[in-house]
Every structure is written in structure tokens, then in C-alpha cells.
A and B are shown apart, each in its own frame.
Chain A
Amino acid sequence: MSVNNLSQGKNQWTTFQLIAFRISFVFFIIISIPNNPLWYKHVFAIDWFNLDYRDLYDICRFGSGVNWFGRTTFGYRLEGYSIWVNTLFFSIIAGFMWTFVLKLLKRDRSAYNKLFYWLHVVVRYRAGLGIIGFGFTKLFPVQMPYPSLGILDTDYGDLTAQKIFWLSFGIVPWYQIFAGILEVGAGTLLFFRKTVPIGAALLVGALGAIVVVNFAYNGGVHVYSSYFVLLSLFLLVPYYRPFYQLFVKEITTKVELYLPKFRSPVNYVRIGLKAFTLFVFIGVFFYLQYIDFRYDPYKQPSSAGVTELRGNYNVTEFKLNGETRPFNPYDTIRWQSATFEKWSTLTFRVNRPVRLDLSNGGGDPKRDVNRTFELSGVAGGQRAFHYYADTDNKKLYLEDKFKLIPDPRNVTAGEGGDGGVRNYLRDQKAYDDTPATSLEEWLPDSVKHKFADEVNDVHPKARTTRRIREFAKADELAKKEVRQRFVVNYTVYDKGNKVILEGIDENRDSLYVVLDRVIKDYKLTPGKLDAGQYD
């Protein structure tokens, strides 16, 4: 295959190098291959003719490593790194067995220049694709959304550290775009052998900082970000010594890396494959992520909220079962304030402890009710309800966005994901407040058909197969979910400056709420780069 080499490796490796290479080979091949059957299932199910950005994202993001021994090393989770340690143990044993077998067969090698090159290729593409998948959600700033009205109205101390960090990126979309360009750029540089060290060095710096951020802010993605640091440090192995020799020792040197030169038919195949990879994971991905940003930002609901309702409100009158509860900061029942988002969410604040969703609020849900970024990591008595609006009869069908067991997130990501449902199920406790209103009572079939078209409640370009498939299962899933639900009538007065909600609340008490619009003198203003379309 190789004739004139651009660059030659060393012909005689030391015994240490040979054994270290065998161990590294086993280790890096294993951690570059998906270990979760779900990933393969996902990839084979992809509809390539109606792609969702998340289809490509899922291809790029998978868990890997030796997981046959469970998720602990001698009982320790090691902050999630145990899978790496287990893989390393496995590779050390495999590496020594490899050495031993060669000795036994008397087929000792003096160098692995070609195999090293191919290992490099595998790791380069794994790291490159992975970081591109990660980077595109920043390049079109949707990974860290702009804070919703409900969050803008939440006190700083009522947020988790994770939320604070994510939001601090969300308020400056341009900066998020820069981070995305850096990640996608670094990933792209890994596809070309000459720019590998630049891409890898950028990744070590950028992802190294993200690892620390995840530890400091408890972001939960430390293992997956460390993954790129590890892969990049490995890619830099051939460069450390020459760098040291040239700049510190100040002696003439060169990088000893074997680079094959391909004969033309092989080369055409190689160029074709590479061009295809670039086309799909840069070109198509760019377009899909743009569609997501423009019409269906994945952490925000996609359905528009009722236009005349949107805004911040003071709760000026509140009656429960006919009894007026005057404004009082100590009152634990009354609503203290409320917001209607530009999408289909009502939030209101109560002065009592409420159950919290402490997840990152990300993942891939398509149904609005399951997109919980506005709710996760937010306390202060803030409750968020998704609504279906029957604008003809001025009715809102509200359902709590909080549910005790959140959906699995990043299912194909394994240990690299933020846990998902498996971790939550482990400490599941009995749910003490069973909803008073059943799903059928809340949304009887006579009404349900009005909202049956929710799957199309987004721009046609964002009606992906993935979305359609998820909505096809929606009814079945909704039955399993435990949520608080209620229905109110709404009346709008004075061009939307006053809204009255009337109905039976989640506890079957009759509810009468007068909301007066209020303009808040916020110091934050959304820029022009606003994700989503809610007109």
C-alpha cells in the first residue's frame, strides 16, 4: 500500500515502546467504539431522507469502554471514570498477552509504524466527529438557551451552580458561537494529518477547561469532556519530544511519524470517504443545526404560546374556593407572581417547598412538556406548566412540566451522558402526591382531537422523522407519566394588561386569579440571535 513515504517512523522501537503501543492500541480502539447496543439500534433506525440534527449528534456521541465488569472498579465509581480504569486494566492484560504470544510464536516485531498510523486515524476521526457533534449545538447557540421569563424572574441563589454556568453562556450567544467555532474547527483540523497537532492542542485547552468547569459547577459531563482531552493527548504523543528538543534543548530534530502515501485507486477511495464524512458531518450537520436553531431549539418548547398572554404578571387577586387570599409573602398557597413564556408555558411562584428537577434539562425530547430547561435546577417555589390552548373556547389545558422520574437523556451516550433515567430510578421513592385529576378527565377524547396535530406545531422544515416517531408514541408514554394537571378559562382585558384565569386547580379547588401585566426593568436584554420561531 505504501510506497514513497512522506515521513518515516523509527525502525527500531524499544521494548517499552512496543509493549506500551500494544496496550495503547487495545485501549484506544476499545474506547473509540460504541459499547452500547442502543447506539447501533439508533443509527440503523435513522431516516436519512428526513434527518434531525439529533440523528447526527447521536452518531457522534456514544459511550465506550469495557463495561462488562459493571460501572465500578472494585466497588468505586471513581467519579464515573471507572470504565476507563477497567478498560485500562483489560488493555494491560491484553497488551502483555499479545507480547507473550508473539514471543511464543517467535514473531517478534521491531516497530509498529503502520499500525500506529492507523490507530491515529481511528482516534482522530473519533475525537473529530465527537467534538463536532458537541460543537454544533454551540455554533448555533442552542446548548445554552437564553433564560426564559420565569428564570429571569428567579433569584440568583435559587439556581444550581450548573444552571448558573449554563445560563451565563446563554445570555451571550455570540460567545457561545465562538466556543462552537472553536470546537467544530478543532474537530475539523483533526481530519487532516498536517493539522492534527493544532486541532489536538486546541482540544486539550478548550476541553480541559470544560472538564474543570464540570467539576467546579457540578455539570455532570466531566467524563465525556475528559474523553476528548485523553484522545487529544494521545494524538500529541509523537510531538512532545520533538517540541522539547527544538525549543528547550535547542537541538535539530524532526517528528518521527510514519505517514503512508497511497497508490491512486486507494487514494481516490480515501479522498471519497473523507469528502463524504466532511459533507455529512460539516455540511449537512450545519444545515440541520441551523434548522434546529431557527425553528425548534431543542431545549425550548417548539409550540408558540398564546400571543396575547405572553409576559410577566403580578398576581393582584387570588381566590381559592371563593375565599380571597390577599397578597402576603408568607402565604404558602397563593401564587406570588406568574409569567407566560413566548412558548407554551405558564410559570407561577408559590411560597412553599416544591419538588425540583435537578437534571441538566437537556437531552433529546421532542414533546414540549418534556423540554424542561426552564425548570431544571430552578428553585424559589417556581412551577412550570405546559399548556394546550383552545383559543376558540379560551381554555388552557395545563400539565406540570415536573415529573418525578425524568426521561432518559442521551441514551446512547452511556457513561458519557448525564446519567439519564437509570440513575434516577435507583433511588426512586414512592410518589406521595398522586394527581387528583386523571389524564382522561383532564383531556377527554372530545377535546383531545383538537390537539392531535401537535406534531405539526413546528415549522415544516423541523418536522423530522425523529419528531414524528416520538409523537406517534406520545399517548402511550403520557399514560405512564405522573403529572399534576388542571384546566382554566382565560379572559384577556385591556389589550392583555389584565388576564383572569378561572377554573379547577390540580387539587380540585376552584381557582380565580387576576394577573396584571408588569414591565420589568431588567438589565439583560436578548440580542438579535434569538433561537426559535414563535410568531
Chain B
Amino acid sequence: MATSAITHPIPAATGFVRTLRIFGKETKYEFLKLLRTKSFSLSTIGFPVMFYVLFGIANRNAFAGNVHIAKYMLGGYACFGLIGATLFGIGVGVAGELAAGWLELKRASPMPAPAYLFAKCASAVAFGLIIVSILTAIAVSFGGVSLSSTELIKMFGMTIVGSISFASMGLLLAQLVPANAAPAIVNLIYLPMSFLSGLWMPLRFMPHWLQHIAPALPTYHLSQLMLHIFGYGDSMSLVTHWNALIGFTLLMLGLSWLIFHRKEQNA
């Protein structure tokens, strides 16, 4: 019987390279899977693009003070798009793999658990970047939006931050929500939250009472950080928005961790 795996431990460097390769492959195939799953890729890319084409480009010549509405909406729909890709990719995706027993088979293998989480997160970031790139291209080409290269880079940076932040919420939802109800429940959370925090339509065009609800939502703080890049932020300080987003992320991660451990103990 081959006992070599244990008696001759692999040299550390090989082990590290191998671990890197696992992270790489896991991420590559997670991304490919999402890309090929048309119900995911078409809707997460299609909806923000369609909405932006309908509402953003229609406002190509609209200004409110010095705010270019089409550019303002680019920030909103960028957030809407990246959050959708993250919640559907991770929330719905992990819930499905949990329910199907697929995650169990992977856990029975020597796959390092962080590789799985990293792959989900990195794929969500990749989809977020794809969506934001398409939206930006449309905004610049057809919406009369002008962006400096600094603004563009900051937008991409904020997309990565937003995807990672909302990945924590996806992780929590995946553990709480039954797989067959996951897409509906994610929509029921994600769509109202997007609307209420002004991702579809600038908050200033919405009733006052609604504007007071918005700061309670994590989506609002992400969108304000995004809009701040264009100088379109609200009167709250940047620090407040950062704190709110980080607090939200830590809360979601903490709850996920608690639930995961409770399940582990009962298992």
C-alpha cells in the first residue's frame, strides 16, 4: 500500500505552488461555470445594462445643478450590477451547491476551504468588473458621460470593494435560504434595497421619507462611495460611509461564521 503521501511530506515550496494552482483552477472553473450558466450571466449583465440604456441614456442631456444625471446613474447602476452579480453568484450559487450535496463532495476532497471561498469571491469581482466596464462603455459612447482615467480606476477599485463586501451577505443568505427559493428571496431583498437606496433613480427625485430610510441600507453607503468619485456624494462624510460598509461586511461575516459553526456542531 502506498503510504508515501504521509511518510514523505511534499516539500513546502511544492505545497505552496500546488495550493496556488488549486486557487487558480477553482477560480477559473467557477468563473467559467457562471459565464456558461446563461440564467446567471445574461440576467446579471443584462438587467443593469438594459436599465441603464433605458433610464441613463435618456438623461444624457439632463443636469441637476452641476450633476450630470447620466453620469450619476452610471454610479448607481454600477452598484446595482455588481451587487446583483455577487448576491446571485454567491448567495444562490452556494445555496444550490449546499443543497445538491456537491459542496459535501468537495469538502470530502482535500480541497482547501479558502480556495472555494476565494473562487466565489474572485468570480463575483470579475463579473462586477465586466458589468461596470460595459456600463461605462455605454455611458461614454451613448450617454455623453465624460470620465477621467482616475475616475475610471477608482470606479473599478470601488467595484472590487463592493463585490467583496456584498459577498459576505451572499454567504449569509446561502446558509439561511433554501436553494429552490434562493433566487426569489435574493430578488425580494436586492430589488427593494436597490430602489430604496437610489441605485435606479437618484434619491433627490424621491419622496423625503424615503430619503431618510436610505442611510440604513448598505447599498446606499456603497453607492455614495461610488458617487463620491464623481463628486456627487451626499453631505455625509466619506468616513461614515466607509464605516457603514465595513460594519455591514463584518456583521454579515460574523453571522455567517456563527451559523456555519452551529451547523458544524450539529452535524
A binds B: no
B interface residue numbers (CB < 8 A to A): none
